[in-house]
Amino acid sequence: MDLQVYNTLILSDLHLGAETSHAREATRVLKQNRFQRLILLGDIFADLNFARLTKEHWKFLGYIRKLSNPKRKIEIVWVEGNHDHGLTNIMSHLVGVRVYQDYAWQYHGLRHIAIHGHQFDGFQVNNLRLSKLGTSLYLKLQKIDFKSKPIVRLIDRVNTRWLRMSSKVSAGALHYARQHDANRIFCGHTHQAIHVEQDRIHYYNAGGWVDSRLTYLTVDEQGVQIHEYHERADDRDSGQERGEADSSIADFADESGLLEDVEYESVGS
C-alpha cells in the first residue's frame, strides 16, 4: 500500500450532472491517495440542475463531505469555476467546504496559487450567455443520443478545442502568477493537463474528468506531478453494486457518514 502523503491533491472539471462525468473514477482517486489538502479546482458541477446528478455523482459529493470531517485534518478547498458559479454557496453548506475565487498557500518556501482559469479566457467571460446556451444545448443532445454518442463525442472534441485555448489560459495564468509573486500557479478549465515553465514560474493544468484522459495533480517534496488515472484490477467492485432501489440521497448520506451512528472511519488506516 502506498503510504505517501501528498501535501496537496488537485482535481478540476468533473462536471457532475453531465453524462460524461467520471465521478466514480474521481472518487476512487480520492480513496486511493492520502493528502493533507484537497483542491477542487472548479467546474465540479456542469450546471445548476441537481436532478441530473446520478448516484455516482452523489457518492462523490458524499465522500467530499466525509473527508471534510475535522477529525481527518484534511483541508478541503473549493475554487469556483465558470460552470459551478452560483452553486458553490449551497454546496459549501451541503458538503461542508469553503469556497474561494482563488486560493494561495505556501509550501517549501514557494508561493502557490490555484485559480480555475476562465478568468484568463476572454471568450468565456465576454460571452457568458452564449456559453450557457451552449451548455444547455449540449446537455439536451446528450439525452437524445445516449447510445452511441456520436454527436456528443463530436461536440466534446470541438468543445474541448474551442474551450481549450490552452495557450491563452497558460499565458494569462503565468502573467497572474508574476503579478502575485507566485512560483507555481494551478488552473483547470481547458480540460488539458499540461505543464509550462516560463522565467522560473511554473503553470500546471489539472485537466479534467469528462474526456478520455482522466488526470489530477499532486504537490509534494519531489515537486508537482501530473497523474493519469488508470483503472486497477481491484477497482472493479461489481460485488458491491447496489440495487436500483437505492436512492441517490441515501448514497450521499451513506458516503458522507450521515448514516453512521457516532464513529467515523479511523483516519490513520
DSSP 244: T
**Strand 98-100 to 102-107 pairing:** unpaired
Contact segment (CB under 5 A) with Mn ion among 49-57, 132-140, 179-187, 189-197 equals 189-197
CB of 58 to Mn ion, least distance (A): 22
Closer to Mn ion by CB, 82 or 248: give it.
82
Stretch that binds Mn ion, among 78-86, 170-178, 195-203, 256-264 (CB under 5 A): 78-86
Residue from 11, 37, 43, 174 in contact with Mn ion (CB under 5 A): 43
Beta strand 201-205 pairing with 194-198: antiparallel
Among 17, 62, 81, 207, binds Mn ion (CB under 5 A): 81
Nearest to Mn ion of 108, 213 (CB atom): 213
Q: Judged by CB under 5 A, does residue 82 bind Mn ion?
A: yes
Q: Following CA atoms 209, 215, 216, 222 in sequence, which dihedral angle do they give, to the nearest 10 degrees?
A: 180
Q: Which is nearer to Mn ion, 129 or 200 (CB)?
A: 129
The gap from C-alpha 194 to its chain's centroid, in whole angstroms, comes to 15
Among 15, 184, 189, 191, interactor with Mn ion by CB under 5 A: 189
- Residue 72 in contact with residue 42, Cβ under 8 Å? no
Residue nearest to Mn ion (CB): 189
Contact flag: residue 15 with Mn ion (CB under 5 A): no
Rounded least distance, CB 118 to Mn ion, Å: 5
Q: Which stretch binds Mn ion (CB under 5 A): 28-36, 41-49, 53-61, 247-255?
A: 41-49
- Give the 3-state secondary structure percentages of the chain, helix then strand then coil, rounded to 5: 40, 25, 40
Number of residues located near Mn ion, criterion CB under 5 A: 5
* Residue 121 vs 254, nearer CB to Mn ion: 121
Residue holding cell 466525509?
A: 66
Is residue 109 within 8 Å of 85, Cβ to Cβ? no
Distance in angstroms (rounded) separating the CA atoms of residues 192 and 204: 10
94-153: contacts with Mn ion (CB under 5 A): 118
* SS3 (DSSP) at 4: coil
> Is residue 109 within 8 Å of 120, Cβ to Cβ?
no
Q: Which DSSP symbol is given to 1?
A: -
Residues that bind Mn ion (CB under 5 A): 43, 81-82, 118, 189
